Structure 1
Amino acid sequence: MARKKPRARQRSRRVFTPEFKAQIVGLVQRGERTVPEVVRDFELTDSVVRKWITQAERDAGVRSDGLTSEEKAELAALRKENTRLREDVEILKRATAFFAKETR
């Protein structure tokens, strides 16, 4: 009988404010701390800090390899609206079919 490996304790997902992210990014960009120092001192992951730095550079216009935060928010809102409109169209199709049967 095969033994199951014990699961590593999963970290709960933490949520960070935009102000906190900006503070961390500022520390690195101003040269006050390196990424590894920030990771250690604030108990963050290397990948999340680097992601925040990359996004801050996009937002500042330094990088052009992705969407800015504003563009991401707009895209999310448009996708949500698109989903709602598709649902509305489906409801209208069903209503049209229902009333077409009733008038015969």
Structure 2
Amino acid sequence: MPAPRKYSDELRERAIREVRAIGRPIAHVAKDLGIHKEALRGWVRQAEADRDERYDRLTSADQDELRQLCKGNAELRRANEILRAASVFFAQQIDRPRTRPSR
């Protein structure tokens, strides 16, 4: 479960709009809205990536897909470890010499 967001989506959108549409400097918008300027800078960069205006970052959709793939990969690794341990256990059971019960 993701951590709760410190800033609302509406505030993020408003700040990004002021920087991009109006052209105000990031530092001024951040100070006026009470946001850390580096947080706002990251939001603007991400918005640009989502609009295919920037190619040095993944889009939000790509980040979500990567996150899901990493989770699936981790789950498959855990399953493989369990299967590997089970195969070792059963191989040891098969290799044991069987003794006849005494009468």
CA contact (8 A) 2:46 2:59 kept: yes
Counterpart pick for 1:89 among 80, 90, 97: 80
CA contact (8 A) 2:15 2:30 kept: no
Asked if 1:34 corresponds to 2:34, the answer is no
Q: Which residue is equivalent to 1:8?
A: none
Larger gyration radius, structure 1 or structure 2: 2
Q: Which residue is equivalent to 2:101?
A: none
CA RMSD across the alignment: 1.9
TM-score of the superposition, structure 2-length normalised? 0.78
1:18-33 → structure 2 map (5 Å cutoff): 18-31=9-22, 33=24
In the alignment, the residues of structure 1 paired with residue 83 and residue 22 of structure 2 have an alpha-carbon distance, to the nearest angstrom, of 58
TM-score of the superposition, structure 1-length normalised? 0.77
Counterpart secondary structure, 1:16: coil
Asked if 1:69 corresponds to 2:72, the answer is no
Q: Which residue is equivalent to 2:39?
A: 48
Shift of 1:59: 0.3
In the alignment, the residues of structure 2 paired with residue 94 and residue 83 of structure 1 have an alpha-carbon distance, to the nearest angstrom, of 17
Q: Identity over the aligned pairs, expressed in percent? A: 34
Shift of 1:52: 0.6
Where does structure 2 lack aligned partners over 5 or more consecutive residues? Answer: 96-103
Counterpart secondary structure, 1:47: helix
In the alignment, the residues of structure 2 paired with residue 18 and residue 71 of structure 1 have an alpha-carbon distance, to the nearest angstrom, of 20
Q: Which residue is equivalent to 1:7?
A: none
**Amino acid across the alignment from 2:81:** E
